[in-house]
Chain A
């Protein structure tokens, strides 16, 4: 078991190490960590701290994707919770009061839970496809955040208790890192030391079959969207607390993309059915390390182009067709047709990888494609 795990994570881990070394080449004090006023400082600490909100969102996203879903609304949910908490703290007479901050955080997280429940309802009860269902809140959520703040940018800057969540220190370590670490640990225990993780994977492989096997797939789907909403809300608090500003248009903008990217880099398949929390963690660190590297080596403006190239490279590496092409090139032409035909039979990818690996120039290729499609069709009717 340990061997398999290390095998799956070895490539992302190597990429992370390579990125850190590349950073070191540009900045020779990159690995230096110093103690200043009793708190830890240094480029590595910065990377961990910047990664914390992405880690939170990506953890929720991992479980959602494992059920063959997707949550595009996490950025909007972060905007709602961040805006509401900032609004409450500013409009209360006493921003430094711990009780005010606790109320703000509590209510904001409750709102995030409601948002998650809403997504879960659309997906599991109404049966709307996840991309579309979460698109609704992605559109409307930022609108709600704008309504909360009356289209203003808020600055919750004189509340030390609120500042702690995203920008403060506890026991010399940035609080956000501790928080993300604790939540990562809890998620890992909940999913891997109980049956929950296996149930989530079962739903991802085949919701109908898992329901027939006695799994409450509807509740499982609901739980993962609730979890994703809650963590997105927490990330929103972290972001607004760290920057001490809340602009409903920009809190968590594109964080859903970073989270999906972290999940995919970490080796969790978008087809659902299996997930790796450690992979997601490494994926989030890779994104932050890459951002730092691109900003140092080229310019901050180039980060988006780099991310795009990484997404494309990772997706092509993960696709069975690309692997078939590579193995086909090594093993001769005949095998290249056989490999994709085999991949059609595998349960997870059946619907997606159906008919295309045809080589239309030869008659053989054409018949191969046709038999593929028949295979897919029959497996579609039985499931």
Chain B
């Protein structure tokens, strides 16, 4: 029954102006690409070595967890929902991992446990939203309190991770190529490297891309965002899909927690305050409609890179107040929301 309906499920119904519309669909992403190029060029002119291979790779190396958070958030926002709990669930992941490792558990057991707990939490949130019709923002707000509170009950201070596997993931560099940089002390030869966390994040990205664009589940996600009652009338598995996206977001938050504990070799109950905003900002800047139904997970990746560039400005410029990075992110979010409004208005 569903197979016969599939051609109509995509974010746009086919029409005679298809060739024009095809370009319009990508216009938010085009705006993001232009913005990113301008920002990179600005950084390159203003700071030395801003566009060096290592600096560009560091955009990924330092923010691998944010990529995973944004990918999970993309699923939720595509259905027209929102998940405010991702930062807290990520913190809970780091704390559970650190606590279990300090008790002598094996990483091969700890990582699945963290992923299962965060997925179950997301699942419960999804059930609350679907079964009791609680608005996503308040249900995920409750989950945020719960995850943050549980982490604080486990520990109220940072726990260092001494496990060899986590240490290895923290310190191992995957060397890609050699480069020579001109420093004040002369020419230096060094390896340009990335980390395993980035590889994991890329893997998640590939999976998310395939799931969203080449599976029935992915098409249902878009259909719910396009119009929930229509999706229901088409006989799509709306309830199951809606619950699943929150479970996916929980899973991604847990994984982000693991990556974060690789990166810092610690578990910290107060880490990630406000990361939900960063993840939402990345999705919005990446051109996904907050009302749901239109957007691309690759766009969210561009959004994260945009945020990473803003953080890189701060790293390269010692005198820059942290406040400016927040103001810049807020301004970009506003810019893209207004752009979305204009596009939606024109479509009508």
Contacts and interface: CB of A to CB of B under 8 A. Distances in A.
B274 to A, nearest CB: 8
A358 B233 CA distance: 12
A377 B330 contact: no
Given A354-B228, A356-B238, A312 B152 contact: no
B28 to A, nearest CB: 15
Interface residues of B, number: 52
Contacts of B290: 129, 132
B334 interface: yes
A272 B141 CA distance: 19
Interface residues of A, number: 62
A146 B146 contact: no
Interface string B146-185: 1011101100100000000000000000000000000000
Contacts of B327: 140, 143-144, 147
B277 interface: yes
Given A144-B327, A147-B327, A355-B232, A319 B322 contact: no
A309 B149 CA distance: 11
B132 A321 contact: yes
B304 to A, nearest CB: 15
B326 A140 contact: yes
Contacts of B323: 142-148, 151, 248
Interface in B110-134: 128, 130-134
Contact of B324 (A129, A143, A304, A373): A143
Contact of B142 (A144, A253, A308, A352): A308
Given A140-B326, A301-B156, A319-B133, A151 B233 contact: no
Nearest to A317: B132
Interface in A110-136: 122, 126-129, 131-133, 135-136
Contacts, number: 155
B150 A139 contact: no
A128 B233 contact: no
Nearest to B331: A140
B82 interface: yes
Contacts of A356: 130-131, 133, 232, 238-239
A interface: dominant SS: helix
Nearest to A320: B133
A311 B146 CA distance: 10
Given A128-B337, A146-B321, A311 B229 contact: no
Contacts of B228: 354-355
Interface string A304-316: 1111110110011
Interface in A251-280: 253, 257, 260, 264, 270
B325 interface: yes
B33 interface: no
Given A150-B321, A270-B135, A311-B138, A302 B153 contact: yes
A231 B324 CA distance: 26
B338 interface: yes
B143 interface: yes
The residue in B137, B145, B148, B281 that gathers the most chain A C-beta atoms within 10 A of its C-beta is: B145
16 contacts: A126-B338, A132-B337, A140-B330, A141-B330, A143-B323, A143-B325, A146-B321, A151-B321, A151-B323, A257-B144, A304-B145, A308-B146, A312-B128, A312-B139, A374-B233, A376-B229
Interface of B: 82, 128, 130-135, 137-139, 141-146, 148-150, 152-153, 156, 228-229, 232-233, 238-239, 273-274, 277, 280-281, 284, 290-291, 321-327, 329-331, 333-334, 337-338, 341
Interface of A: 70, 122, 126-129, 131-133, 135-148, 150-151, 248, 253, 257, 260, 264, 270, 301-309, 311-312, 315-316, 319-322, 349, 352-356, 358, 360, 369-370, 373-374, 376-377
Given A132-B284, A305-B153, A360-B239, 13 more contacts: A70-B137, A135-B277, A137-B330, A139-B277, A140-B330, A253-B273, A257-B145, A305-B149, A308-B143, A352-B135, A355-B232, A355-B238, A356-B239
